Structures are given as C-alpha cells and as structure tokens.
Amino acid sequence: MSTFHFIKNGLYDVTLEISNILITDEHDLIHKAVGWMLREIGNRDLKVEEDYLKKYYKIMPRTMLRYAIEKFPEQKRQVYLRGKI
C-alpha cells in the first residue's frame, strides 16, 4: 500500500518489484494488499497489470489473484481463475 503514491503518478516498477518479493508471503492481508495494488495499476494501465498477471498468475496466492482481477469482466476473470491463459 505504501506504493500507491507511485501508482497514482504512473510509476509502476516499484509496486511490481515489491509484488515479486511478496508473492510467496504467507499472510492473507499481504495477499489482499498486493492484489489491490495490482488492481490499481490496472485501473490506470490494464496492459501493465495483464502483462504481470500472465507471468505470475499461476504462482500467486488465490486471494491476491482475486483482488487483482476483481474488476475484470466475468469471462476474463474465469479464464485467470481456471488457469487457461
């Protein structure tokens, strides 16, 4: 959540780097926070979010993925949730 300032200013690299570090974290609240930040990136630049998700969606915690794709159309959400990209 500390990277939201960067996201608002179109600087996504810091958030994506931290996401990579936290992708294996065990705590559910971390999963929610990272997913929320990924979703915020997507609200501003969907291509950046989807590029990241395509690379990591299979290994990210389910909660993180669900938060990240929350605003996607249902059909696209199901593609990610079923792992059929």
- pLDDT values of the chain reduced to their tens digit, one per residue, 85 residues: 789 999 999 999 999 999 999 999 999 999 999 999 999 999 999 999 999 999 999 999 999 999 999 999 999 999 999 988 7
pLDDT at position 38, please? 98
The maximal CA–CA distance of the chain, rounded, in angstroms, is: 33
For the chain, domain boundaries: 4-82
pLDDT at position 78, please? 94
The beta strand positions in the chain, using DSSP E, are none
SS3 69: coil
Q: How many angstroms from the chain centroid is the CA of residue 76? A: 14
| Secondary-structure breakdown of the chain: helix, strand, coil percentages, each rounded to the nearest 5 | 70, 0, 30
Confirm if 63 and 35 have CB atoms less than 8 A apart. yes
